[in-house]
Chain A
Amino acid sequence: MSAYEAHFRVWRGDQDGGGLKDFHVEVNDGEVVLDIVHRLQATQAPDLAVRWNCKAGKCGSCSAEVNGRPRLLCMTRMSVFERSETITITPLRAFPVVRDLVTDVSFNYTKAREVPSFVPPEGLGPGEYRMWQEDVGRSQEFRKCIECFLCQDTCHVVRDFEENKESFAGPRFLMRVAELDMHPLDAAAETGLDRKSTAQEEHGLGYCNITKCCTEVCPEQIKITDNALIPLKERAADRKYDPLVWLGNKIRRRGQ
C-alpha cells in the first residue's frame, strides 16, 4: 500500500445554500475519512467546518454522511473504498445545517430534556445501592450510547417529516426511556410516573415502524430496535392493549 490521490466531493455552504465542491487529496495507508478532512483543512480549505473530538469513535462528534450513509468520519476507513471511487461527504441531512459539515443538533438536546430523569429510590442512601449484574446488563447496553445522533439522523420519521420532530423523541431518547424503565432501582413508578405508557403518549413510540435503520447505523452496535424499542413497545402494550395483564394486575392489587 502506498499513498494515492483520491477524489472527494464535500458539501460546503450554510443555510443560504451551498453545494458539493470537488477536491483531489492525498490518502495514506491506514487513514480514515476524518484524516482526509483534516488534510483538506490544512492544505486546501482552512475554514472547512467539521465537528470532531476524540478521533477514536468514543465521543460521537464527527457524525456526517459519507456516500449518502450516516457515519462517524473517524471510524470510516479509507480502505473500504475503491481508489477510483469518488467519495461524497455531506452534513447530516435530518438537521438544520450550520456550515459545511456542521449541523444544528439542538433537536436532540431538546428531546433529552423531555425524558424525566432517573428517580432515586426512597430510603436508600449513597453507598447502599445493591444491584446485580444481570439486572443492570440491559440498561448498560443502552448506556454505551455515545450520542452521535446518527440514529436520530437516519430515522425516516424525522428525517423525511420535519413536522414529526415535535412529537417524536427519536431512537436515542426512546432508548433512554427504555434504559430508565429497565433500571433496577428507578423509582419513577412510585412517584406516579409510568414510563411505559408515556413512551407512547409523550415520546411518540408509535411513530417507530421498527425498520431498524437506527440499529444498522449505530457505531456502538447497540441493538436499539430489538433490545430497546420493541421491548418498550411490548411494555406499552402491557399497559394499553393487554386486558389480561390489566386484569391480572387488578386481581393482584385486590389480593394485597
Chain B
Amino acid sequence: MTQVERQAWDVVVIGAGGAGLRAAIEAREQGMRCAVICKSLFGKAHTVMAEGGIAASMGNVNERDNWQVHFRDTMRGGKFLNHWRMAELHAQEAPDRVWELETWGALFDRTPEGKISQRNFGGHEYPRLAHVGDRTGLELIRTLQQKIVSLQQEDKAATGDYESRLKIFQECTVTRIVKDGDRVAGVFGYERESGRFFTLEAPAVVLATGGIGKSFKVTSNSWEYTGDGHSLALLAGAPLINMEFVQFHPTGMVWPPSVKGILVTESVRGDGGVLRNSEGKRFMFDYIPDVFKEKYAESEAEGDRWYEDPDHNRRPPELLPRDEVARAINAEVKAGRGSPHGGVFLDVSTRMPPEVIKRRLPSMHHQFKELADVDITAEPMEVGPTCHYVMGGVDVDPDTAAATGVPGLFAAGEVAGGMHGSNRLGGNSLSDLLVFGRRAGLHAARYAQESAASGTRPVPDEAQLDLAAAEALRPFSAEAGEPEETAGPAGPPENPYTLHQELQQSMNDLVGIIRKAGEMEEALHRLASLRVRARRAGVEGHRQFNPGWHLAIDLRNMLLVSECVARAALERTESRGGHTRDDCPEMDREWRRLNLVCRLSDPSGGLAAPDTGNGQIRLERRETPPIRPDLLNLFEKDELVKYLTDEELTQ
C-alpha cells in the first residue's frame, strides 16, 4: 500500500536522551551497527532539563560515602518497592559511568583537590551529586552527543562515511515496533519533516523514550514526553509495572500561567534554600514522617548547622524525598497558607549572598528573571508541585534491561520500571540513564550478535507495515469525513489539541498528586470517552512537518499510558511514594510485596478491538522478588519493620 523506505541495522535505539545515547555508544563499541531515532533535533532531548546532578557515590566530598549507602538511600526513597537488584547495580556502577564521562570531555565542577565536586540533594545521606552549576543534564547530553560525533569521526576515517556504523535519525517518530512472531524485527515510523514513512529492520530495539508527563496539565516535561516507549512496549506485548507511581516534583514555577510547571531545581534546597508559607513559617518541620524522624533536624538551628557540619547535625526537612515535600506543599496551600499564586515560597535570597546565588544557581536566576520578572537574589520564588517523572515503566530484567516476554526488546531510563520503586530520588535519574543505558546497549548488541550468528534474522511482514501506515494516516481520513471501517464511530472530526487539553486536565484533576477512588473512576470514564473521540481526531494540511498530525498520533500513546496510571492507581489501596490516596492514607506493608502489571487487553497488540468501556488495559498483581539477605543486612532491623511484613522479616 505505502512505499516505505527500508534499512537494515543491528540495533535500533528509540530516543536520544541520556539512556538512548549511552546505549547507542555501547552498542557501537560492541561492534554493532546502531541507529538512533529521536523526535527532536539531536542534542535537544529532555535530559537537558535535568539540573541538579548525577548521583554517584564517588566519595569526593565525604569519603564515608560508598555504594551501600547509596543503595540504602535509593531503597528508602522508593519506600522499598524498588527492584533491589536494579538499585544495587545502579549504586555500584554509577561512579564508573560518571568518570567515564570525563574521559569523553565532560567538565564537572571541581573540589579543591581537583576531583569532581558533589552536592547535597534530597534523600541522599552524603553530598553525592556530580554537577555543573545547575545545568548538569545539558553537560551530560552534550558529552554523549560529542562522544557519538567522535565515534562517527572514527568511522569516517575507517570507512569514509560518518554514518556507516552509527547514525542519528533526528526528528523522526516511531509509531510501532514490528515483529517476526514473538521476536522484535524492527520499527516503523515517520520522518516529521517530510511525513514519509520508514522502516528500520533490526533484531534488537532499545526503548529510551523517557516519560509520560505530557498527559498532565501542570508538568515540567516537554512535548516529547507522550509515553511513546511505554505504549510501544504495550503494543508489542511487553508489560508495564508500577505505573501508579508518578512523581510530582515539589518545586515547579506557579506564575505566570504560561510557565506553570517549569522546574525549579532541587539544588536550590540542596544549597540552602528554604520553604516558607504565607505566615513566614518553615513548615517542613511539621511534615517529617515517622519513617524519617531520626534522620532529619528538629529545629531550624540544627538544620542550618548541618550545611557546615553535616557529621554532627541532621539535615533540614526541606531535603526530604520529593514525594514528602510535594505533599507538604500541597497541604499548606490547601490549608490556605499558600502564596498569592497558589504555591509556597522558596527562598534563597535571605540565605546566600547574591554573588553566590548567581554562581551556583545561574540558570534559576536567569529563568526567574526572564520568565517571571523575579530576582531570586532579592526575593523568594513561588513554587508548587509539578508532574515530573514516572517511576513506572517497562518491566525489564535488571541485569540485561531486556523487556519481559518480547525477545529483542530492551528498555532503559525513565521508560523502564522498577529501579526507583515508588519514588525516585533527585540525581538518581541521570545515573540511571547511564548505568542502564549502557547495560541495554550492551545486551542489545549481544542479542543482535547472537541473532546474526544463528542465521535467523527476524523479518517484519508486509501486513504489519501496512497496518502501521494505515494507523498513522487515519487522522487525515478523519478530516475527509469518510471513516474507514477502522476509523470508529462516525462523528465530526475532533481537534487533537482540544482532546489533548481535556486529557491533561482530567489527569491533573483526577489522578494527580492526591487521589481518591471516585475521582479515578471518573478519570477512567473520561478516558474511555476521549479514546472514542480520539479515533476521530482529524488534521488539516499535508504530511510535511504537521504538528497537528503528530499530536493526533501521539494521543494514542498518551491515552494508553494514562489508562495504565489511572487503573493501577485505583487498584493500589494504600499511599506510598508517588502514589498518595486520600481514601487510603497509610502505607501498607502487604502492598510492598506487590507490583501492579499492566498489559494490553487485546493480546494481539491491536487497538481495533471494539471499546466496550472496559478499556484497553488489563491489570494483574505480581509478587515482588525477595530482597537478597546481604542487602537487607545493610539496614537496621528497626527500620525494616516499617516496610517489610513480619513474614518477610522472619524468612
Contact = CB atoms under 8 A, between A and B. Distances in A.
Interface of A: 14, 28-32, 35, 41-43, 46-61, 75, 77, 98-100, 102, 104-105, 109, 112-113, 116-118, 120, 124, 126-127, 129-133, 136, 139-140, 143-147, 180, 183, 186, 221
B153 A102 contact: no
Interface residues of B, number: 69
A30 B372 contact: yes
Contacts of A48: 547
Given A30-B259, A105-B41, A41 B548 contact: yes
Contacts of A75: 370-371
A49 to B, nearest CB: 4
A77 B374 CA distance: 14
B292 interface: no
B544 interface: yes
A99 B544 contact: yes
B90 to A, nearest CB: 18
A133 B139 contact: no
A14 B543 CA distance: 13
Nearest to A52: B223
B546 A147 contact: no
What 10 pairs across the A-B complex have the smallest Cβ distances? A30-B256, A118-B105, A47-B541, A117-B150, A46-B548, A130-B114, A126-B99, A42-B497, A49-B545, A127-B99
B312 to A, nearest CB: 28
B95 A58 contact: no
B255 A30 contact: yes
B384 to A, nearest CB: 15
B143 to A, nearest CB: 9
Contact of A132 (B100, B114, B162, B495): B114
Contacts of B153: 113, 116-117
Contacts of B544: 14, 49, 98-99
Contacts of A43: 497
A42 B223 CA distance: 14
Interface in B516-549: 539-542, 544-549
Contact of B44 (A30, A31, A59, A116): A59
Nearest to A127: B99
A172 B432 CA distance: 30
A100 B547 CA distance: 11
Contacts of B363: 58
14 contacts: A30-B256, A41-B547, A46-B497, A46-B540, A49-B546, A53-B46, A58-B363, A59-B48, A59-B49, A59-B222, A99-B544, A117-B147, A120-B104, A132-B110
Contacts of A52: 222-223
B473 to A, nearest CB: 15
Contacts of A144: 135, 138
Given A31-B256, A130-B114, A98 B193 contact: yes
A53 B222 contact: yes
Nearest to A32: B258
Contacts of A186: 105
A100 B258 contact: no
A129 B99 contact: yes
A46 B162 contact: no
Contacts of A56: 49, 259, 262-263, 367, 371
A42 B548 CA distance: 8
Contacts of B156: 113
B190 to A, nearest CB: 14
Contacts of A183: 105, 107
Nearest to B263: A56
Contact of A58 (B49, B132, B496, B497): B49
A256 to B, nearest CB: 26
A136 B115 CA distance: 12
Given A56-B371, A117-B150, 14 more contacts: A30-B256, A35-B258, A41-B497, A46-B541, A47-B548, A47-B549, A52-B222, A99-B545, A102-B545, A113-B162, A118-B104, A120-B103, A140-B109, A183-B107
Contacts of A131: 107, 110, 114
Contacts of B614: none
B40 interface: yes
B259 A55 contact: yes
Contact of B150 (A118, A129, A133): A118
A60 B162 CA distance: 25
Among A46, A50, A120, find the residue whose CB has the most chain B CB atoms closer than 10 A.
A46
